[in-house]
A = this chain, B = another copy of it.
Amino acid sequence: MARTRHLPSQERKELTVRAVVELCGEQDPARITTASIAERMKVTQGALFRHFTGKDEIWQAVMKWIAEQVMRRLEKAVARSETPLATLEAMFMAHIGFITEHPGVPRLMLGQLQHSEPTSATRLVRSMLARYRERLAAILEEGTVCGELRADLDIEAAATQFIGTVQGLVVQSLIAGDVQRIAEQAPGAFLLYRRGIQAGEAS
Contact = CB atoms under 8 A, between A and B. Distances in A.
Interface of A: 26-31, 107, 110-111, 113-117, 126, 129-130, 150, 154, 156-158, 160-172, 174-175, 177, 185, 188-189, 191-197
Q: Is the interface of A mostly helix, strand, loop or mixed?
A: helix
A164 B171 contact: yes
Contact of A172 (B150, B160, B165, B185): B160
A187 to B, nearest CB: 9
Contact of A26 (B116, B126, B150, B177): B116
B185 A192 contact: no
A27 B64 CA distance: 23
Contacts of A26: 116
Given A158-B192, A160-B172, 15 more contacts: A27-B115, A28-B116, A29-B114, A30-B30, A30-B31, A30-B114, A110-B110, A110-B113, A129-B171, A161-B165, A161-B189, A163-B168, A164-B168, A167-B171, A192-B196
28 contacts: A27-B115, A27-B116, A107-B114, A110-B110, A110-B114, A113-B171, A113-B174, A129-B171, A150-B195, A154-B188, A154-B191, A156-B188, A157-B185, A160-B168, A160-B172, A161-B189, A161-B193, A163-B172, A164-B164, A164-B166, A164-B169, A167-B168, A167-B170, A168-B168, A192-B197, A193-B196, A194-B196, A195-B196
